[in-house]
Amino acid sequence: MAKARTRPRLAAAVTAAACALLLCAAPNAAAQGRPAVAAIMPGLPAEALARIRGGAIDAREAAGPADLRWLPAGAPGAAIRAAIAGRQAWPVLIESAYLIPAAELPAYDGLKALNALGAVSTMSGITYFSHNRNRETVLFDEVFKAEGPGSRKALPDPGYRALPAADGFTVHLKDANFGSSWYAATLQADARGARLGLTNARAMGIAVVRAFGAGDLVMEFYLAPVDEGLLVYGLCAAAPANLASSVVDMYSAVLKRLDSVRLWAVGRLKAAR
Q: Are 190 and 222 in contact (CB under 8 A)?
A: no
Q: Give every CB contact of residue 40 below 8 A, 6+ residues apart in sequence.
A: 72, 73, 193, 224, 226, 231, 233
Q: 194 is in which domain, residue-wise?
A: 36-270
Based on the domain organization, do 28 and 49 belong to the same domain? no
Based on the domain organization, do 121 and 254 belong to the same domain? yes
Q: In this predicted structure, which of 61-65, 142-146, 200-204, 248-252 has the lowest mean pLDDT?
A: 248-252
Q: State the pLDDT confidence band at 212, using cuts at 50, 70 and 90.
A: very high
Residue 263 has pLDDT above 70, yes or no: yes
d(CA 166, CA 163): 8
Residue 130 has pLDDT above 90, yes or no: no
Q: Are 55 and 49 in contact (CB under 8 A)?
A: no
What is the total count of domains within the chain?
A: 2
pLDDT digits (tens, 9 = 90+) for 240-257: 998 777 777 888 888 899
Based on the domain organization, do 49 and 8 belong to the same domain? no
Based on the domain organization, do 28 and 86 belong to the same domain? no
Tally Cβ neighbours within 10 Å of residue 80: 23
Q: What is the pLDDT of residue 32?
A: 56
**Burial class (CB within 10 angstroms; exposed 0-12, middle 13-18, buried 19+) of 131:** exposed
Q: In this predicted structure, which of 126-135, 137-146, 200-209, 256-265 has the lowest mean pLDDT?
A: 126-135
- Which of these, 182, 197, 236, lies nearest to 118 by C-alpha position? 197
Q: What is the pLDDT of residue 31?
A: 55
The whole-model pTM stands at 0.85
Based on the domain organization, do 200 and 218 belong to the same domain? yes
Based on the domain organization, do 22 and 137 belong to the same domain? no
Based on the domain organization, do 226 and 135 belong to the same domain? yes
β-pairing verdict for 135-138 and 127-130: antiparallel
**Average pLDDT of the residues in 164-170:** 91
Q: What is the pLDDT of residue 82?
A: 95
Q: What is the pLDDT of residue 30?
A: 46
- Which of these, 147, 203, 215, 214, lies nearest to 179 by C-alpha position? 203
Based on the domain organization, do 9 and 98 belong to the same domain? no
Based on the domain organization, do 4 and 62 belong to the same domain? no
Based on the domain organization, do 21 and 127 belong to the same domain? no
Residue ranges of E strands in the chain: 58-61, 92-101, 127-130, 135-138, 140-146, 154-155, 167-175, 179-190, 193-200, 204-206, 209-212, 217-226, 229-238
Based on the domain organization, do 135 and 209 belong to the same domain? yes
Q: Are 174 and 142 in contact (CB under 8 A)?
A: yes
pLDDT digits (tens, 9 = 90+) for 16-66: 333 332 233 334 434 558 999 999 999 999 999 999 999 999 999 999 999
Based on the domain organization, do 178 and 255 belong to the same domain? yes
For 28-57, give one letter per residue: b (16+ CB within 10 A) or e.
eeeeeebeebeebbeebeeebbebbeeeeb
